[in-house]
Structures are given as C-alpha cells and as structure tokens.
Amino acid sequence: MIFTETPAYFDLEVKVNGENVSRRVPTHQRLLDFLRETLQLTGTKEACGEGECGACTVILDGETVNSCLVLAVETHGSEIKTIEGITSGEPPAEIQETFVAEHAVQCGYCTPGFILSAMQLLNSQTEITDEQVREGLEGNICRCTGYQKIHHAVANAGTKP
C-alpha cells in the first residue's frame, strides 16, 4: 500500500476585493477562517458552519458560495469578493440603501450574506419577479426579520430604473 503525505501548508495566491493576496495557509483551513482570521475580513459571518444558513456567503469567481464549505486552498488563483468589497465604496450600493429604507435589518448578522446573494441575483437579470427573489435568497436564513422586508428591499432594488 502506498501512503502519500498531505502537505500541512500551501502557498495560496488569490485576489480578494480587487487586491492580490499571497499567504501560506494550513491545507485544512476553511475559506471562512482564511477571510475572517487571516485577512481580518470579519464582515463574513459564521452561524451554522454546515452550509445551511448563508451567513458566510462570498462571491467566488462570480458565483455565490458558502465559505464554511470551501477550503482556502481550493480558491488558489481565484477571485473572491466579500461584503467589504461592496461596502468600502462611496456611495453605498443601491441594495444597501433599499435594505435601510425597507428596515430589512435587525441584528444584522445575516445581512452581509443577504446583500451578496441579492447583488448576484440583481446582476443576473434586468427585471426580477417575487418568485425569483424568493428562489434567489432561499439559501440565506434570517432569524429576526421574517423575510418580508428583506424580500421587499431586494424586489424594490430590482425594479428601480
């Protein structure tokens, strides 16, 4: 029988929020921990840690992913966008304004994940139906708002000229 030893560390190169990043990372480190602990990008949240709640949503090469289910090493050579990449600009993105206008935030823990999922959804189509909003956000859980205000915020952002 042949045993191959998995290396403990990997020299990871990624682009995060437009910046090239090079770090030696443990091969078992999750993308979520790489972002929060190594890069101090704590806007990405952990709740379930099992791919069920969407609190840890980031955009990886143009697709939303649960960063608790992705190893950092799997993102080598990729482009990652976190909530910090959305919120560092001025003025705030339209979707952020509609979240505020619709009172779609209470504790705010789920909000970064919802904003990123909503942005992906809104970028993928010109007009958006209520059904598409529900489907587009079904991977994100909110324990406070009851969803109506979040769905209104996203639908309103999707219907503005």
Select from 11-19, 43-51, 82-90, 116-124 the region that touches ligand FES (CB under 6 A).
43-51
Written as one string, the DSSP assignment of 26-54 is ETT-BHHHIIIIIS--TTS--SSSSSSS-
Interface with ligand FES includes 107 (CB under 6 A)?
A: yes
Helices 111-124 & 94-101 angle (0-180, nearest 10): 120
Interface with ligand FES includes 31 (CB under 6 A)?
A: no
C-beta of 7: minimal distance to ligand FES in Å? 26
Interface with ligand FES includes 66 (CB under 6 A)?
A: yes
Q: Whole-angstrom Cα distance, residue 35 to residue 65?
A: 13
Closer Cβ to ligand FES, 18 or 108, answer by number: 108
Triad 95, 101, 85: Cα angle to 5°: 30
Name the residues that contact ligand FES, by CB under 6 A: 46-49, 51-56, 66, 68, 105-110, 142-145
